[in-house]
Amino acid sequence: MSAAKKKGKRARRRSAPGKKIAIAASREAAQRAVSEGELSGLIGYALRRAQLRVFDDFYAALSVEGITPARFSTLAIIDGNPGISQTSLAQTLDIARSGVVMLIDTLEQLDLVSREPIEADKRSYALHLTRGGKTALQRIRRQVAIHEARVCARLDEKEKKWLLKMLARVGAAR
């Protein structure tokens, strides 16, 4: 069941041991309460911070499975679009084709995805979830749901919906 695991360490930042505010240096200039000033009004800054936190939580919850955000997205897209090609997947994920190769290599090693030859075009593969991939995805989905709830703890249902809508507008291509 857990063919996963590999060498998936990674835990991103969170270097502060315990909220130590560097009081010792406060005699100097402006150390005591560092102001983020104009930055807090910038979408990009707010996005980065939010994404950092969300991804951290995702890693913490799912790296034991060998699953990263990109790998989960890949699984979900293949599940929703069985037989999809690598190029098509690259476009959907908005990454280069070469990146998909590595992604699928890994997922194949984890026995979650298979490349199946397709007679209609001998250059390309049809990507499918393996049987194990399907059951793993179910399990992973439950984890993701819990992660999602944790990350959205400060939002009610309506707010979350709104946030997704606004993010979609900002993220809309072109």
Partner DNA sequence: TTAAATTGTTACGTACCATAACAATATGCA
Partner DNA sequence: TGCATATTGTTATGGTACGTAACAATTTAA
**Interaction of residue 46 with DNA, rule CB under 7 A:** no
141-to-30, 61, 67, 131, 145 alpha-carbon distances in Å: 46, 11, 11, 16, 6
**Interaction of residue 34 with DNA, rule CB under 7 A:** no
**Interaction of residue 53 with DNA, rule CB under 7 A:** no
- Of 3 and 97, the one with the shorter C-beta distance to a copy of itself is 97
Q: What x/- string results for residues 134 through 173 when contact with a copy of itself is judged by CB under 8 A?
A: -------x--x---x--xx-xx---xx-xxx-xxxxxxxx
The pair of structure tokens assigned to 101 is 């190769």
Part of the chain binding DNA (CB under 7 A), chosen from 34-42, 79-87, 132-140, 142-150: 79-87
* Pair 148, 16: CB distance under 8 Å: no
**Interaction of residue 5 with DNA, rule CB under 7 A:** no
> What is the Cα 42 distance to its own chain's centre?
23
**Interaction of residue 142 with DNA, rule CB under 7 A:** no
Helix ranges, 65-156 (H): 69-80, 86-93, 97-109, 131-151
State the minimum distance, in angstroms, from the CB of residue 6 to DNA.
8
**Of 114, 124, 117, which Cα lies nearest the Cα of 74?**
114
Part of the chain binding a copy of itself (CB under 8 A), chosen from 1-9, 28-36, 103-111: 28-36
Applying CB under 8 A, which of residues 2, 3, 6, 40 lies at the interface with a copy of itself? Answer: 40
Helix 97-109 vs helix 86-93: angle between axes, to the nearest 10 degrees?
110
The pair of structure tokens assigned to 112 is 């979650």
Applying CB under 8 A, which of residues 2, 83, 102, 135 lies at the interface with a copy of itself? Answer: 83
Q: Which own/partner contact pairs does 68-71 have at CB distance under 8 Å and 24+ positions apart?
A: 68/8, 70/95, 70/103, 71/103, 71/106, 71/107
State the minimum distance, in angstroms, from the CB of residue 33 to DNA.
15
State the minimum distance, in angstroms, from the CB of residue 172 to a copy of itself.
7
